[in-house]
Amino acid sequence: MLDHYTSLIHSELFNKGPVVVFIWKNENNWPVQSVSKNIQRILGYSEIDFLSGKISYDTLIHPEDFERIFCDVAVALDKEEEFFEHKPYRIRKKDGSYLWVHDSTLKLRTNSKVTHLIGYLLDITTQKTLQKELEDVNLRWSFAIEGNGDGLWDWNVPTSEVYFSKQWKNMLGYEEYEIKNNVDEWEKLIHPDDSQRVYQDIQNYFEGKTEFYENKHRLKCKNGAYKWILARGVAIKKDKNDKPIRLIGTHRDISEQKILENEFETIFETTKDGIAILDLETNFLHFNSAYLDMTGFTKKELKTKSCIGLSIPEDVQRAKNIVQELLEKGFVENFEKTCIVKNNKKINISMSLSLMPDKQRILAATKDITASKKTQKQMKNYITLINENIITSTTDLKGIIADASEAFCRISHYEKDELIGQKHNIIRHPNMPASLFCDMWETIEAGKTWAGEVKNLAKDGSFFWVYETISAIYDEENNKIGYTAISHDITHRKRVEELSITDSLTGVCNRLKLDSVLTYELNQSKRYQQELSLIILDVDDFKSVNDNYGHQVGDSVLKEISSVLKENCRQTDTFGRWGGEEFLIILPKTDMLQAAALAEKLKNIVQTYDFSTVGYQTCSFGVATLKKKTQSEQRLVEEADKALYEAKRSGKNRVVVSQ
Tell me how far apart the alpha carbons of residues 583 and 538 are, in angstroms, rounded to a whole number.
6
For helices 511-528 and 633-649, what crossing angle results, to 10°? 110
Q: What's the DSSP call for residue 177?
A: G
Does the structure show a pLDDT above 90 at 262? no
Question: For the residues 523-538, what does the mean pLDDT come to?
Answer: 93
Cα separation values, 518 from 415, 521, 571, 640, Å: 39, 5, 16, 13
Strands 274-279 and 161-164: unpaired
Does the structure show a pLDDT above 50 at 146? no
- 48 φ, ψ (degrees, to nearest 5): -65, -35
Give pLDDT, residue 622. Answer: 97
Question: For the residues 328-354, what does the mean pLDDT come to?
Answer: 92
List pLDDT tens digits, range 41-84.
Answer: 889 998 888 888 888 888 899 999 999 988 988 898 888 888 88
Give pLDDT, residue 591. Answer: 95
Does the structure show a pLDDT above 50 at 21? yes
Neighbouring C-beta atoms of residue 315, cutoff 10 Å: 18
Q: Which domains does the chain have, with CATH numbers?
A: 2-123 (3.30.450.20), 133-259 (3.30.450.20), 279-373 (3.30.450.20), 390-495 (3.30.450.20), 501-657 (3.30.70.270)
pTM, full prediction:
0.38
Give pLDDT, residue 279. Answer: 94
Spatial contact of 578 and 514, defined as CB atoms under 8 Å apart: yes
Give pLDDT, residue 592. Answer: 95
Amino acid (1-letter code) at residue 579: G
Helix (H, G, I), strand (E, B) or coil at 251: strand
Question: For the residues 619-625, what does the mean pLDDT come to?
Answer: 97
Of 393, 411, 389, residue with least CA distance to 465:
411
Does the structure show a pLDDT above 80 at 265? no
Does the structure show a pLDDT above 70 at 113? yes
Give pLDDT, residue 630. Answer: 54
pLDDT above 90 coverage of the chain, percent: 62
Tell me how far apart the alpha carbons of residues 191 and 217 are, in angstroms, rounded to a whole number.
7
Does the structure show a pLDDT above 60 at 463? yes
Structure confidence at residue 13 as a pLDDT band (50, 70, 90): low
Please report, to the nearest 10 degrees, the dihedral formed by the alpha carbons of residues 460, 463, 468, 472 taken in order.
Answer: 40
Across the chain, mean pLDDT equals: 90
DSSP string, 283-297: BEEEE-HHHHHHH--
Does the structure show a pLDDT above 90 at 134? no
Structure confidence at residue 135 as a pLDDT band (50, 70, 90): low
Spatial contact of 548 and 479, defined as CB atoms under 8 Å apart: no
Structure-model confidence comparison of residues 75 and 385, the more confident one: 75
Question: For the residues 114-130, what does the mean pLDDT come to?
Answer: 87
Give pLDDT, residue 462. Answer: 94
pLDDT above 70 coverage of the chain, percent: 95
Tell me how far apart the alpha carbons of residues 106 and 119 are, in angstroms, rounded to a whole number.
6
Q: What's the DSSP call for residue 4?
A: H
Give pLDDT, residue 537. Answer: 97
Question: For the residues 406-430, what does the mean pLDDT come to?
Answer: 94
Helix (H, G, I), strand (E, B) or coil at 655: strand
Helix (H, G, I), strand (E, B) or coil at 261: helix
Does the structure show a pLDDT above 60 at 181? yes
Question: For the residues 557-585, what does the mean pLDDT come to?
Answer: 95
294 Cβ neighbours under 8 A, 6+ residues apart:
274, 341, 347, 349, 366, 368
